[in-house]
Amino acid sequence: MILLKNLLGMKRKYINSILACSMVVSLAACTDAWDEHYQPNPALNGSENLWELISNDSDLDDFEALLQATGYAEVLKQNRSYTVWAPVNLSDVLDVKSLETANDSLLEVYRKEIVENHIADYSLVAGGIRDKEDKKNYKKVAMLNGKSYHFEGSAENAYSFAGQQLKSSNIVATNGVLHKIDEGVLFAANIWEQMAKEESISVLYNFLNKDTKREFNVNASVKGPIVDGKQTYLDSVFTVSNRWIDWGGIGRLNIEDSTYTVYALTDRAWDKLYTKMRSYYNYPDVKSKDELGSQSLSAMADSLVRESMCENLVFSNTVNKKFFEGKKDTLLSTRYNMFVNKSLTNREADSLHNGCLKELELSNGTLHLIDEVNFNPFTCWHDTIRVQGENLRDGENIAQGTANASESLYANTTFVSVDRDHALYGLVSGSGVSVFQPRYDPAKDKSRQPKFHIYAKDILSANYRISIVMVPAHLLDPEEVKSTKSNVFNAYLECINSEGEKVIKNLVQGEKYIPGEKMDTIVLAENLKIDFCEADYKTLTGKEPVTRLVIETPTTYSTRSNTTVYRIDQVMFEPVNPED
């Protein structure tokens, strides 16, 4: 979250100007804290305020005009403490003549990208500057627009700000300190700021930005007087949030202390990717949960597809450092999708998104504007669904006897961990094997059909190859005698129809697994069409997904030659490429 406060300060009675809700990095928790941090330093004995110093300095005529146009003339008269690094020459950052015709929108840009790029809270003098943590002769200064620059130097070396030597320093005002520099400091946009400016990616940006919420924080704001029966505020604090760029989103693209590589889809690329993905998200006509508006999932499908389209656009430069250095062949998105390609080297990462129209180096990473999308669905949104041994033991993946008494017969599974010393280490897909064993003696009651089920979460509307990996008992436990008994079972898939009801697709009848000397993969279906998608089904509906694989021992099995104990490494739902 970003905390917003107005720039006119606690001491003003109330605010009625364009700056009433301008951004400031810091937040005062109470009046005392505000006074301590923001009131003028009594040790600085200036006779004029910052605005008077600037307006009376002929070197700063252009900067004066900019401050006047953006409302900062009033800000710098206030009884609170600022430091200003005033540029003598603004030509690199502004055509001063444009101020004569600039509308409110453009002035707002000037305010953030130029004015607030040269002003910071507190009184910061050139002398004794030291970063206490790094023990260096600089201080990292947070400007009013959130950008940070080094203010550095020592008695032996000239003082500088943002790499520019100070032209004049420590000009004391009643409400802060003025320093003069030769040139304006160029504003370096972060990725989120730049995305807002790029017209070619407007569809993507607007989709993400629509979740931006700005709320008045009455508890953090400081009350002023009652005016005309209404409460006014001396310090108005707003909370701005956006789930995409907050913690847990695709990346904190608006924050300067993290770096990312972002592949932003142009409007053309966005439309092409949507067309490519839409057929995989054919939702049934099931209502979403109340807090989502009780909408039909089929009606929400367009939005849900667009959500998925944003999952693989952002990569952390820190997490993927070795990849971008060409030392690793796996690339991990911020939503934990893994791209593997042993041929990838440093710049070949762009092969994921060919057709780069523009590459921009920004304050917190690199933004690529991509006009062609080369996503392989089978490494992105349509990857293999694996239910591994360690996940087969929890209540979300196996029956607990709530729906059918016979299903509870396998509810008590055991998990055998496979550690480094185990013969199966490196062969099983996860950290171990789940063992399903019925609670009763099958020799005493052959009329019951022991069975268990495994959910296929986030299944898409597509074709799948369904298989199960079985493990012989003696390989799992060396003390077990090699068994000649086989598993005989039926397998079927329970899945959802267009109305959200359960339908059954039979896979195999009387399938036999004879334990051998190695783990075996038993294919239950080579190319099974799943008609309806259940991606994020529980999140959307509050209900368990319908699609699940059921393994059932038929009543015809022989206790002499068959066993009802199953040792399972994993169950796989592998997408089938229709082009293969």
* Radius of gyration of the chain measured on its C-alpha atoms: 32
CA of residue 128 relative to chain centroid, distance = 40
pTM of the model: 0.70
Residue 473 near residue 415, CB atoms below 8 Å: no
- Please give the helix or strand (H or E) that residue 365 lies within, else none: strand 365-370
Residue 129 near residue 153, CB atoms below 8 Å: yes
Q: Give one DSSP letter per residue of 434-483, joined into a string.
A: EEE--SS-TTT-TTS--EEEEE-TT--SSEEEEEEEE--HHHH-TTSPPP
User: Which residue carries 């005033």 as its tokens?
Assistant: 86
> Could you give the CA distance from residue 195 to residue 101 in angstroms, rounded to a whole number?
26
- Please give the helix or strand (H or E) that residue 302 lies within, else none: helix 297-309
Assigned token pair, 346: 């440093």
pLDDT of residue 42: 52
- Please give the helix or strand (H or E) that residue 192 lies within, else none: helix 191-197
Coil, helix or strand at residue 157: coil
Residues 6+ positions from 157 with CB-CB distance below 8 Å: 137
Assigned token pair, 211: 């979740």
> Could you give the CA distance from residue 418 to residue 404 in angstroms, rounded to a whole number?
32
Q: Give one DSSP letter per residue of 415-443, joined into a string.
A: EEE--TTSTTTTTSSSSEEEEE--SS-TT
- Please give the helix or strand (H or E) that residue 106 lies within, else none: helix 104-110
Q: Could you tell me which of 149, 213, 187, 195 has the C-alpha nearest to residue 2? A: 213
The phi-psi region of residue 294 (left if phi > 0; otherwise alpha if psi is between -120 and 50; otherwise beta) is: left
User: Which residue carries 């009033």 as its tokens?
Assistant: 74
> Could you give the CA distance from residue 11 to residue 43 in angstroms, rounded to a whole number?
20
User: Which residue carries 């080094």 as its tokens?
Assistant: 150
Strands 230-235 and 314-316 come out as: unpaired
Instruction: Please report how many Cα atoms fall inside a 13 Å half-sphere around the Cα of residue 92, on the Cβ side.
Output: 10
Query: From first to last of its 580 residues, what are the pLDDT tens digits of the chain?
Result: 222 222 223 222 222 233 333 333 333 333 343 344 445 555 567 889 999 999 999 999 999 999 999 999 999 998 889 999 999 999 999 999 999 999 999 999 999 999 999 999 999 998 866 565 555 677 889 999 989 899 998 767 789 999 999 999 999 999 999 999 999 999 999 999 999 999 999 999 999 999 999 898 888 777 888 889 888 886 677 788 999 999 889 999 998 888 999 999 999 999 999 998 898 999 988 888 888 788 888 888 888 899 888 988 999 999 988 877 777 777 788 988 776 654 444 344 445 556 788 999 999 999 999 998 777 777 677 888 988 887 765 444 443 323 333 344 555 578 889 999 888 999 998 888 988 887 666 666 666 677 888 888 889 999 999 999 999 988 888 877 777 788 899 999 999 888 888 899 999 998 888 888 889 999 999 999 999 998 888 888 888 888 989 998 887 778 788 888 889 999 999 999 876 6
Coil, helix or strand at residue 324: helix
